[in-house]
A and B are shown apart, each in its own frame.
Chain A
Amino acid sequence: MKYFFLFSLLVLPAVIFMVDNGNKMMAYADEDPIDEEEADVEGETEEGDLTATENEEDEDGPQSKASPDADTVLLFTKPNFQGASQLELVAGNPVEFLVGFRNKGPLDFVVDTIDASFRYPMDFNFFIQNFSAIGYNKIIKPSHEATFHYSFLPSEAFAGRPFGLNINLVYHDASGNSFQEAVFNETVQIIEIDEGFDGETFFLYVFLAAGVVLLLVIGQQTLLSVGKKRPAAKKAAPVETGTNNPNNVDYDWLPAQTLASLNKDKSPKSPKGGKPQSPRQRKAKRSTGSE
């Protein structure tokens, strides 16, 4: 009985392990192939002897290489590139290239997709940015050739750094063998070109300057009007409470015509002729101040 328990102790983990392993295999099948490649960096050291799935993947790798019957060529059209020096791409400017595909074999080829990606220049397995794969699905008959156009936009944030640019062409032949070829796999430099004169920003600055000037003018105007109003009020105050109108009448409230008629009536009688005109003067000052 004891031995039986011991035996079961041995068997049960084994069974669990096997079931677990099966599940793992299913999970692997579901996973994205790109993730698999990314994981490869760690996988080679840590998971040295993985199960059969990993080995199969490794065997798959060399199989999906370029076909000997396909002749591919790459030409950069947007930044003119002669091929002598390192390719320089301008950040923020679209990059365009053409991929030529010539079928030298006896079977039809179908070009599926082209995708570009930026990778870490020290380690091309490390992805920095993936550009979308463009599907072409173009059938190329034997001894025919076709051109494919692809363009992408290097982000402005990447300026001033080298990147590994990988351009991948995926195609398959009529018998169903799939191939993939890296038509470009080099380190490129992403540079920044500062345009000397940008009209848009120039006019933005002009507009800002105009706004500042406008604000200054408005501020000056308000300051001036406030400054004018206050002295006028101060001047007016002693006049109003002054001796000239002992009745304490504020003539401001009276319309001009009434004042005029009042003055007419007053002027012959009053001994001080000039003074009743003062409210009018005040009125005149006010009106200039308020405008």
Chain B
Amino acid sequence: MADHFLFSVLLLVVFVGLISACTNPQVTSKSFTTQDATIVTHIGFISEFEVKCSSGDISSLYAELPDGSIIPAAVVGTNKYQVSWTEDTKTAAKGTHKIRIFEEDGYAALRKVLRGNEATSSVSEFFNISVVHPGAYSGPWLRSEFIAVIASLFVSYFAVTKKGKIVA
């Protein structure tokens, strides 16, 4: 029991420590999406971002994806994070996908809101990042075979009409 008490105190200390949270975050992000839909079945959206605080530390970050699910952001380095998800090549929309990032307290508020079946947009995010998907290449618009067939049809039509005129 004693160690539990100790742990609780520790937790309290941690919570107190959280008060000195990150202020004025400077976020630099880059995004990557797979663009060749001919060989992959799903489009992968990957966003990597770096957060610099003018003061304080960052607690663990959570991200709200465009489809509404909330996932923990992966820590890939000091103050560097990655958020990634996949979508089916058919349903993946091109354009900018906005991701909202939450801190620990924002996440707690978010969970409360979700429990009450309310819209998550009421919770203000820590910051935003966007992933740009320029659209995936899913094969040529016209198959070359099709073009060849059309061309040959055209040539043969021309030849047949000319021949018909000569014979007539």
Contact = CB atoms under 8 A, between A and B. Distances in A.
Contacts of A290: 168
Nearest to B161: A291
Interface string A110-124: 000000000000000
Interface in B112-168: 164, 168
A78 to B, nearest CB: 13
Contacts of B164: 291
**Number of contact residues on A: which range applies?**
under 10
A240 B83 CA distance: 90
Contacts of B168: 287, 290-291
Contacts of A291: 164, 168
A287 B164 CA distance: 11
Contacts of A287: 168
Interface string A77-106: 000000000000000000000000000000
B85 to A, nearest CB: 15
Interface residues of B, number: 2
A291 B164 CA distance: 9
Nearest to A199: B90
A213 to B, nearest CB: 18
Nearest to B165: A291
Interface string B64-98: 00000000000000000000000000000000000
Interface string A280-291: 000000010011
A291 B167 CA distance: 12
A77 to B, nearest CB: 13
A51 B90 CA distance: 61
B90 to A, nearest CB: 10
A291 B168 CA distance: 9
Interface in B16-59: none
B20 to A, nearest CB: 38
A11 B57 CA distance: 95
Interface in A241-291: 287, 290-291
A290 B168 CA distance: 8
A184 to B, nearest CB: 26
A211 B168 CA distance: 30
A287 B167 CA distance: 11
A253 B164 CA distance: 18
A290 B164 CA distance: 10
Nearest to B90: A199
A167 B76 CA distance: 37
A32 B126 CA distance: 63
A90 to B, nearest CB: 16
B139 to A, nearest CB: 15
A151 B58 CA distance: 40
A287 B168 CA distance: 8
Interface of A: 287, 290-291
4 contacts: A287-B168, A290-B168, A291-B164, A291-B168
Nearest 4 Cβ contacts at the A-B interface: A290-B168, A287-B168, A291-B168, A291-B164
